[in-house]
Structure 1
């Protein structure tokens, strides 16, 4: 019964945030993240993000990312080489336009544990091939997960998730954007979890809020 109440609470939050996004100028992001072991050291990253100007239907951006990673130490200190396809449909002078970007990226992730707090640092370098331009960008992400209903991130655990990520251009102006995020999550089992939260993005001295619902899948492709 306790598990049922926890899952019901998270679903209620997800539905509430979806409804709130539909009736405001907030954006909404629906996200899937896969990080699946291929061997003991290698992992396959796969990701789809469907981003809307409103709750659903008015596409802002479709982002597809994939890559192969390698653990320098057991289940930690991961280096990864990846590719991203980004379809953007921004409004320009009230009219929708369409842009396609191809992106190559390299990243390093390291994890730490401080009591109940699970920390993750991600350093990412991106080479961005836009339709009429080429840009390079550096990103630093600091995220944390804190279990609430258990001492560890065990199955059927509610947890708090938060992150801050800064984006820096290789040329001027150096500052691109900053994202701050907070959410409530639920560990479904040892390989799957779900989160519902809110992210605020500062870009060009403008703030924009995003409702986010994310699903995380770590089911390994191998038993070894």
Structure 2
């Protein structure tokens, strides 16, 4: 349980750090996430997922962003899964899109099942192609890479596993790193409650605080200090799990958000 204690200590510290260094957050926004997952099994190691996501600047109002993405996964064993994913991301403003991004990523997930506490370590490498419309009609493009690490913890209530009719808690912290610098780009903290209805359907309602960092820089002979823009959001997630035909039951799997 040492890792659980570390997680309990680290997450409040990260939230406090963001609160101390962040600008005053604006109005709360909202994220809506719908995911269909085909998890791997003992015999059928191949799987995958598809997801659609929409975000708004205010609670279920002022829609400005959407994602459409999916991936193919392979279970190395019950604790290790690799995935290759791709997606298309649109950011909008009046009167039209301000950024269109295409993304490819490679991912490794390590799952740990420690009695009732479940931990998930996710490592991701992203390649990002971004297009920005310009006034002259010739869109500008940029290529960026990014590294991400997420530690996600699940705690089922009244059960030892996340099975049918299980209420559970979920918290995670994810850091986003830019290999070309400045290195520390973003931090995302989440806490929520979920319910596993049956072997197929689960839902979560949670809070996510996303902080974007602008690193200290020299401008006109003066040092501009680190600044942080933050946003609090309500997150509503629905996950539907498919099942392979003619296969044994899937080992315990976690209702993780794919974003």
Give SS of 1:89's match.
Answer: strand
CA contact (8 A) 1:192 1:219 kept: no
How many residues get paired? 197
Alignment of structure 1 residues 1-224 onto 2, 5 Å:
25-37=27-39, 40-74=44-78, 76-89=79-92, 97-131=97-131, 132-204=141-213, 205-224=228-247
Give SS of 2:162's match.
Answer: coil
CA contact (8 A) 1:135 1:170 kept: no
Q: What is the rounded CA distance, in whole Å, between the counterparts of 2:93 and 2:188 in structure 1?
A: 19
Gaps of 5+ in 2: 1-25, 132-140, 214-227, 248-259
Q: What is the rounded CA distance, in whole Å, between the counterparts of 1:26 and 1:96 in structure 2?
A: 23
RMSD: 1.8
Q: What is the rounded CA distance, in whole Å, between the counterparts of 1:222 and 1:57 in structure 2?
A: 41
Q: What is the rounded CA distance, in whole Å, between the counterparts of 2:91 and 2:53 in structure 1?
A: 12
Of the two, which has the highest radius of gyration? 2
How has the CA–CA distance of structure 1 residues 116 and 37 changed in structure 2, closer, same or farther, with 3 Å as cutoff?
Answer: closer
How far apart are residue 61 of structure 1 and its match? Answer: 1.3
Q: What is the rounded CA distance, in whole Å, between the counterparts of 1:87 and 1:141 in structure 2?
A: 23
Q: What is the rounded CA distance, in whole Å, between the counterparts of 1:31 and 1:165 in structure 2?
A: 18
* TM-score calculated relative to the size of structure 2: 0.72
Gaps of 5+ in 1: 1-23
* TM-score calculated relative to the size of structure 1: 0.82
CA contact (8 A) 2:44 2:244 kept: no
How far apart are residue 126 of structure 1 and its match? Answer: 0.4
How far apart are residue 223 of structure 1 and its match? Answer: 3.2
How far apart are residue 90 of structure 1 and its match? Answer: 5.1
